[in-house]
Amino acid sequence: MVIVESYTLAVVMCLITMLCWGSWANTQKLASKEWRFQLFYWDYSLGVLLLALVLAFTMGSFGAAGRGFLADLSQGSGKAITSALIGGVVFNVANILLVAAIDIAGMAVAFPVGIGLALVIGVITNYIAVPVGNPVLLFIGVAFVAVAIVVDAIIYRRMSSGSQGNMVKGMVLSVIAGVAMGFFYRFVASSMSTNFAQPEAGLLTPYTAVVVFSVGLFLSSFIWNTIVMYKPFSGEAVTYKDYFVQGNARLHGIGILGGVIWSMGMSFSIIASGAAGFAISYGLGQGATMVAALWGVFIWKEFKDAPKGSNSLITLMFCCFLIGLVLIIISRLA
């Protein structure tokens, strides 16, 4: 299989992860006027699984290093496979809540709060399990991200005085999603060998772990997504019939594209973790908050009605995110 040994290349892959994770939700925004997020989510989850399988049968099956995908899957222990599956289930409930928060509050709010919290929790839990990198620089970087989260919440509160119900609902969903999402990566990492070139027996290689994770995500959608279809956080309920009657090739394609983009980010993050360490790989990827906020501010104009003085706070938010990301990167080199 294809493995990454260079830290520089691993950082590049993590930055691609950041772009993917911060950009996939644009596909939801593109479809949101015609397509409820619950219906969009079926295509998204399918796209995640499809790309994971494509990478497993290509990059995960060629080359002399490690184990090929099918051989690796067949030797995986029940404990390792269950851990990766649970990662998919936990991520899925968190992601559905995040998508609902995006639908209610917008990308510039849901991402910094939800994914920002996930970054803080995920870096801490993954560093405790596999301590790679300078902890002082790493956690100072995480602290800057936490400040950016608080600043973003202040901006949203200032501009949401006329829709208090939506503000509270969007923030609550984002916080719950962030807490849950902070733990999913550890389940996937626990299923994997830390030596990708010579993986331990019973543990999974990155490509296999991502496929099993994606299966958990897709299958659990029949529970989590069905619940929010019939008991939505906002708007009217939708049914399985609506998916087939209201959908068309373009809408289905947009949803699958969103899943493919996110899955590319997940795969690159897991592959890069061998050289970067799980905490740094996850932390850099979750810099997606800054990417999503950029989309929300400059493309979707979600803060166009913010009161005077908000531009300074927005600038402060981005600066804190950027400083935090730089510190996380150099923590591996110190």
Angle at 8 between CA 6 and CA 70, to 5 degrees: 45
- Please name the residues in contact with 259: beta carbons below 8 A apart, sequence gap of 6 or more: 24, 43, 44, 45, 46, 47, 48, 49, 50, 51
Angle at 284 between CA 28 and CA 70, to 5 degrees: 75
Neighbours of 106 (CB within 10 A): 21
Note the residue count of the chain: 334
Domain ranges of the chain: 7-330
pLDDT digits (tens, 9 = 90+) for 192-242: 999 999 999 999 999 999 999 999 999 999 999 999 999 998 789 999 999
pLDDT > 90 in the chain, percent: 60
What is the arithmetic mean of pLDDT over 317-322?
A: 88
Q: Which ranges of 111-205 does DSSP label H, i.e. alpha helix?
A: 116-129, 135-159, 164-190
Q: What is the mean pLDDT of the chain?
A: 89
Give the three-class secondary structure for 216.
helix
Q: What is the pLDDT of residue 327?
A: 93
The predicted-structure confidence for 117-176, as pLDDT tens digits, reads as follows: 888 899 899 999 999 999 999 999 989 988 887 887 777 667 655 455 666 788 888 899
Q: What is the mean predicted confidence (pLDDT) over 20-35?
A: 87
pLDDT at 162: 47
Q: pTM for the full model?
A: 0.88
pLDDT digits (tens, 9 = 90+) for 74-91: 999 999 999 999 999 999
Q: What percent of the chain has pLDDT over 70?
A: 95
Residue pair 180/117 in contact (Cβ under 8 Å)? The answer is: no
DSSP state of 76: -
- SS3 label, residue 139: helix
Residue that has been written with the tokens 């520089």 in this structure:
8
Looking at residue 291, its pLDDT comes to: 83
Among residues 263, 321, 268, the alpha carbon closest in space to that of 24 is found at: 263
Residue 214: Cβ within 10 Å count: 29
